[in-house]
Amino acid sequence: MENLQGKVAVITGGASGIGRAVANRAADEGMRIVVADIEKGPLEQAGRELASTGAEVLGVVTDVSDAGAVRALRDAALDRFGAVHLVHNNAGVGVGGPIWEVSEEDWRWILGVNLWGVVHGIATFVPLLMEQGEGHVVNTASIAGLVSAGFLGPYNATKQAVVAISETLVKDLQAVGAPVGVSVLCPGFVQTRIAESDRNRPGSATEAAADGATEMRAAVQSMVDGGIPPATVADRVLEAVKSDTFYVFTHPELMGEVERRFADIMQGRRPSPTAIA
Ligand X SMILES: NC(=O)c1ccc[n+]([C@@H]2O[C@H](COP(=O)([O-])OP(=O)(O)OC[C@H]3O[C@@H](n4cnc5c(N)ncnc54)[C@H](O)[C@@H]3O)[C@@H](O)[C@H]2O)c1
Q: Yes or no: say if 67 and 17 are a contact pair by the CB < 8 Å rule.
A: no
Check if 155 is active-site: yes
Told to check if 34 binds ligand X by CB under 6 A, we report no
Binds ligand X by CB under 6 A, chosen from 91, 102, 165, 241? 91
H helices of the chain, where? 17-28, 40-52, 67-81, 104-110, 117-132, 153-175, 203-208, 213-225, 230-243, 255-267
Of the candidate spans 47-55, 56-64, 123-131, 235-243, the one that interacts with ligand X by CB under 6 A turns out to be: 56-64
Q: Which of 10, 13, 59, 183 is close enough to bind ligand X by CB under 6 A?
A: 13
Residues of span 225-244 touching ligand X by CB under 6 A:
227
Pick from 9, 11, 18, 57: which binds ligand X (CB under 6 A)?
A: 18
Q: Which of 81, 116, 155, 189 is catalytic?
A: 155
For position 124 contacting ligand X by CB under 6 A, the verdict is no
Burial 122-147 (b: 16+ CB within 10 A, else e): bebbbebbbeeeebbbbbbbbbbbbb
88 in Cβ contact with 19 (< 8 Å): yes
Site string (157-196) toward ligand X, x via CB under 6 A? ------------------------------x-xx-xxx--
Contacts of 194 (CB under 8 A, 6+ apart): 17, 92, 93, 94, 220, 224
Cβ proximity to ligand X, 134 vs 221, nearer residue: 221
Tell which one of 8, 11, 16, 97 touches ligand X (CB under 6 A).
16
Among 19, 97, 121, 135, binds ligand X (CB under 6 A): 19
- For ligand X, which is the closer residue by CB, 45 or 134? 45
Q: Does 126 bind ligand X (CB under 6 A)?
A: no
d(CA 160, CA 172): 18
Supply φ then ψ for residue 168, to 5 degrees.
-70, -45
CB 169 within 8 A of CB 137: yes
Is 277 near ligand X (CB under 6 A)?
no
Phi, psi of 105, deg, nearest 5: -60, -40
Q: What is the dihedral of CA 156, 119, 13, 127, to 10 degrees?
A: 150
Find out whether 128 and 84 touch, Cβ atoms under 8 Å: yes
Shortest approach of ligand X to residue 113 CB, angstroms?
A: 4
Judged by beta carbon, residue 2 or residue 253, the one nearer ligand X is 253
* Per CB under 6 A, 76 contacts ligand X: no
Whether the Cβ atoms of residue 92 and residue 199 lie closer than 8 Å to each other: no
User: Judged by CB under 6 A, does residue 60 bind ligand X?
Assistant: no
Binding site for ligand X (CB under 6 A): 12-13, 15-19, 37-39, 42, 62-65, 90-94, 113, 140, 142, 187, 189-190, 192-194, 197, 200, 224, 227
Catalytic amino acids?
A: 155
